[in-house]
Structure 1
């Protein structure tokens, strides 16, 4: 922004008079915004299709379909994966930055558990303590860069598992993940795509996943 544009913006705010407070407030909110990433993962072989992930930020704005599509999952060949439990330090998963949003207050997720198959939904309330973690910069050593960096845990990662389990972590590029919530979602009785797809699910299981589930079943209760 050049000097002329900046001076013009200030003049407009001044001339509007009664809207001056509004101009100042918008600047304040803009200063508080912190970009954050919404990612999704699933245990080995337990493939997930996310119909929608809608976000409500702390300013009560709704960002529909902030996330959708397939969650990050590993399908090791020859049954060498282990879907039971969660990794000690999960990655950021598959997702994207929630453009224009302030920090999250609520995330609604509706997803298809393809291994069962079943459709679930969950309302995930993000506590203020979690947002404080997202705001707080910390020093961390990055192995891949062999250097110390300062960053915040601005990656909100949601693990989705059979049985409607949703587990939530905060992590950064180099900071270890911190668990902030575990939610048991509910079955969406309308089925996949709110009943608009004649009961058909988004994708068939990958061959490795199908072979694992047929041989070993689903480790319910481990998540």
Structure 2
């Protein structure tokens, strides 16, 4: 083997090792999900992600947050869930782990438009990188799982609570954020102050019981 080929192979091997070591997470993508308390409907105008490489992923998620609206006012929106679900969202493909998440949303029961910045600490990313052995009841096997889902629960008053979880690993609460009112109103002031309509079932609940402010502290 000539010296040029030896050098070329060494360079390839070294660059491959360097590339592997530069990977921040042990999976190809992570999931960004949103949910809201029963009847407290939310419309996400935009959720923009900045990863730890300073790359921006605009509108990583938009649309309705996951919610339950049981008939006949039988649901209870008060307080945070003991076992939060994964929410409605998307895989953030091509991004590294999150550094910041910018969210602007409409709280339809109020109605009000909020915006916030979630600063994701390194401690949260460490949880997301950590592999754990867990028995997965879904398929009855022990698996290696990661908490590769970041789930944001949005409540009236602009309160957000954030968890990380895996497909078979329980959720870990990582932070709580108080959003501010967006003075421009819905759609950055482009809708003449009109929010999206509230569904009939949620409207009926709020008219009877009101919004349980104070239960999401």
- Cα 1:106/1:145, change in 2 over 3 Å: same
2:207 to 189, 214, 223: 214
Stretches of structure 1 lacking an aligned partner (at least 5 in a row): 1-6, 15-20
Q: TM-score, normalised by structure 1?
A: 0.87
Q: Deviations over 1:14-50 (max 9, x none)?
A: 8xxxxxx9x6698347643432100000000000000
Q: Which residue of 2 aligns with 1:17?
A: none
Summarize the alignment of residues 80-91 of structure 1 with structure 2, pairs less than 5 Å apart. Answer: 80-91=74-85
Q: Deviations over 1:190-215 (max 9, x none)?
A: 0000000111113x211111100000
Summarize the alignment of residues 133-152 of structure 1 with structure 2, pairs less than 5 Å apart. Answer: 133-152=127-146
Q: CA deviation at 1:147?
A: 1.9
CA contact (8 A) 2:109 2:198 kept: yes
Summarize the alignment of residues 169-184 of structure 1 with structure 2, pairs less than 5 Å apart. Answer: 169-184=163-178
Structure 1 CA distance for aligned equivalents of residues 89 and 50 of structure 2: 17
Structure 2 CA distance for aligned equivalents of residues 29 and 107 of structure 1: 25
How many aligned residue pairs are there?
206
Summarize the alignment of residues 114-193 of structure 1 with structure 2, pairs less than 5 Å apart. Answer: 114-193=108-187
Structure 2 CA distance for aligned equivalents of residues 68 and 25 of structure 1: 37
**What CA RMSD, in Å, does the superposition of the two structures yield over aligned residues?**
2.0
Q: CA deviation at 1:144?
A: 2.3
Structure 1 runs of 4+ with >3 Å offset: 23-26, 28-34
1:27 to 9, 19, 33: 19
